[in-house]
């Protein structure tokens, strides 16, 4: 029966099962999918400080090419020392490669995310999304349970290219680890390939 179903129908059936029984059986977001619509808190650097805006992801990602970077947590070692600084340092290069904006997201509250952005001196290079309740992360199915480490539900480490509201590339580390997959050099290569 499953073999005769198209992908969208199969996703809906699995989603229904997941919502009913609480099991996550599949990765629901894939290349070509529309970004799920969830309300999030966006922190933008304006007039020398970070301003908070509540916005829907549908509105945020509706037009242009966006780089969305998921990281497990503010002030965690790899996120603070390597992963996000690389995106901050290469943000202008990403924009020259066609990106409208670069956004970093974690399952943290806006106050923590703001303090983290200030610590990184991200200024207007990278904007930040505070997904405090993890709703957008869950909708993307890019979360991970780090309860064993005392960290609870978090974002996996990933990078996604979103074009005009639809996913065009997914680089999912499947957890908190970091490899070249989610790093800025890989995203730059993907942007370059899209220009060919």
Q: Which positions are annotated as active-site residues? A: 79
Alpha-carbon separation of residue 78 from 73, 115, 130 (angstroms): 9, 17, 18
Alpha-carbon separation of residue 109 from 45, 130, 190 (angstroms): 17, 6, 31
Q: What is the DSSP string of 21-84?
A: H----S----TTPBPP--EEEEEEEETTEEEEEEEEHHHHHSSSEEEEEE-S-TT-HHIIIIIH
Residue 40: closest CA among 146, 113, 98: 113
Region for residue 32 given its phi and psi (left: phi exceeds 0; alpha: psi -120 to 50; beta: otherwise):
left
Decide: residue 19, CB within 10 A, 0-12 exposed, 13-18 middle, 19+ buried: exposed
Coarse DSSP helix, strand, coil percentages of the chain, rounded to the nearest 5 percent: 40, 25, 35
């Amino acid at each position: 029966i499953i073999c005769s179903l198209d992908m969208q129908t199969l996703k809906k059936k699995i989603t229904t099962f997941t919502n009913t029984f609480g099991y996550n059986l599949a990765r629901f977001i894939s290349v070509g999918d529309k970004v799920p619509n969830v309300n999030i808190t966006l922190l933008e650097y304006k007039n020398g400080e970070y301003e908070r805006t509540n916005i829907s992801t549908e509105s945020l990602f509706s037009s242009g090419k966006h780089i969305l970077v998921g990281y497990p947590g503010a002030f965690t070692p790899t996120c603070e020392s390597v992963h996000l600084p690389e995106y901050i340092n290469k943000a202008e290069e990403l924009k020259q490669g066609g990106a409208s904006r670069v956004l970093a997201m974690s399952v943290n509250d806006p106050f923590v995310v703001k303090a983290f952005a200030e610590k990184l001196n991200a200024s207007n290079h990278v904007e930040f999304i505070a997904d405090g309740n993890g709703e957008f992360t869950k909708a993307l199915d890019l979360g991970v349970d780090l309860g064993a480490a005392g960290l609870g539900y978090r974002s996996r480490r990933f990078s996604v290219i979103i074009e005009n509201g639809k996913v065009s590339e997914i680089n999912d580390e499947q957890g908190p680890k970091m490899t070249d997959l989610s790093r800025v050099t890989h995203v730059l290569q993907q942007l370059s390939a899209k220009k060919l």
